[in-house]
Structures are given as structure tokens and as C-alpha cells.
Amino acid sequence: MSQEFLKRLRDYLNERLKNEPYSEPFRIEPPFSGDRWMICPEFPAPPIASIIESIDGIVSIHSFGTDKAGDYIGECLVRSYQRRFKKAEIKGKEEEEKVWKALRKEEEKARQDYVNRRNFEKRLKKSYKEAFIRLLWFDEVARKISKEYGVKVKLGVNEINCDSGLISEFNGSNMSEEEKFEEIKKRVEAVIAAYKLAEYAYLPRWPSQCEKENHKKYLEFEKAILNTLKGANRILEKTP
């Protein structure tokens, strides 16, 4: 890939995102092993975190992170285990270690369910249910934006720490630089739109009217998910 192409792409990103609240200047960075090139901000900031082309020609546009679900699940579990910790403290260190072991075991199972998108009915009854609701919301956002923009956007989840982010990829192996540039631009727009909608799972301190309306959509989505769960439970309770 020519340096002219990379400079043009860098300049496009800086111009396109210059009015975003937290956006940092983009730079051409030394690629990681297995990559041809990488462009990213000096400090990670929303909405676009990086654009990378791998050696096999796959170009990936990554959003800023949408959630740190692993941290959230752990924090919620520690709070929910406080009563057990207090009781164990009276009995001694051995009992405390048993509680910690139980907590870590539940945390690991919850993380695995998050990564594999499974056992939602069980996890939506837990103290950390918000992480799983947001996961469903991010997937819904990815589907909506993919349909609207005509390019595939998906939610990627890190298998180790459950951090997540939106991604759009394509194979640029047989494309000219101009074709690749236009395809990147199209997918950057889709990822920006997806990120901005996904982040309405969190309400800013001083939101605009648009942000309030989109946050309302998330709350309606959350309510529908929980009502569906309650309905399913009622049906199960009546089943002989």
C-alpha cells in the first residue's frame, strides 16, 4: 500500500472526525505482526479506534470500545457477595477463601456465557444483568445499521476480558487503492452510526434532545427484554 494512500486516509479521518467531542488526531502507526498497515489516534477515543489491513488483505474498521463487561460483572458480583463475605470473615480465612472461590467460579461462568452469547434467561436474573442487556442491544444495533448502510457491522467480544467493540471488515485483496478508499469511507460511516447508537445504553450527564430520544429507545429495548423474560417464566410456572 502506497504512503500516498495512507496519508490520504489519515487526512480523511482527521477531517471527518474533527468535530467529534473526544476525537484525537489520527496517525500512521507501525503495524503489528501479521498486519500491513494501521491508522489510529495517538490515544484511543470514540468513535473510531483504528483501521487495519492484515497481510491476507482483510481491512478492519474498529470502533472505540462499547463495554467492559468483564469488569462490570466482577464488580457486581463482589457487591452481591458482601453478605457472604461478612459471614465468612467471622469464621476465618479458610471460609473467606471458599467464598472467593465461589465468586470466581460464578464470574468465569458468566464471562463464558457472555462471550458465547448464551444462557441469557439465567444471566438476566443476576445483579450484572445490565451487561447482558447491553450485549443484546449492541447486537441489535449492529443488525440495524448493517441493514441501513448496506455493509456488515458486527460486535466483537474479547474472549479474555469481555471487552467489546463494533467492527466492519472486507477483503480488499483485489481492489485498487481508490476502490479500497471508497469502501473504507462507507464502512467508517456505518461504524460511526453504530457506535453512536450503541452508546445510548449510557446516558451522558448533559444529553442533547437527540441523545435523550435514543437513550429512550434503549430503555424501551431493555424493558421489552425483561418483560419477555417474565412472560417466559410465567409460562414455565404454569406448565405441568
Reply yes or no on whether the pLDDT at 240 is more than 50.
no
The DSSP line for 117-146 is T--HHHHTTSTTHHHHHHHHHHHHHHHHHH
Reply yes or no on whether the pLDDT at 238 is more than 50.
no
Question: Mean of the pLDDT values across residues 213-224?
Answer: 90
Reply yes or no on whether the pLDDT at 154 is more than 90.
yes
Q: Please tell me the distance from the alpha carbon of residue 106 to that of residue 78, in angstroms, as a whole number.
A: 11
Question: Mean of the pLDDT values across residues 2-28?
Answer: 92
Q: Please tell me the distance from the alpha carbon of residue 92 to that of residue 201, in angstroms, as a whole number.
A: 41
Stretch among 34-48, 74-88, 190-204, 223-237 having the lowest mean pLDDT: 223-237
Reply yes or no on whether the pLDDT at 237 is more than 80.
no
Please count the helices (runs of H) and the strands (runs of E) in the chain. Answer: 8, 6
Report the DSSP beta bridge partners of residue 54.
35
- Exposed, middle or buried, 2 (CB in 10 Å: 0-12/13-18/19+)? exposed
Q: Which amino acid is at 182?
A: E
Q: Residue 54 carries which DSSP code?
A: E
Q: Please tell me the distance from the alpha carbon of residue 20 to that of residue 81, in angstroms, as a whole number.
A: 40
Give the pLDDT score at 214.
Answer: 86
Q: What architecture is the 3-68+129-238 domain classified under in CATH?
A: 2-Layer Sandwich (3.30)
Question: Mean of the pLDDT values across residues 187-203?
Answer: 92
Reply yes or no on whether the pLDDT at 50 is more than 70.
yes
Report the DSSP beta bridge partners of residue 48.
63
Question: Mean of the pLDDT values across residues 200-223?
Answer: 86
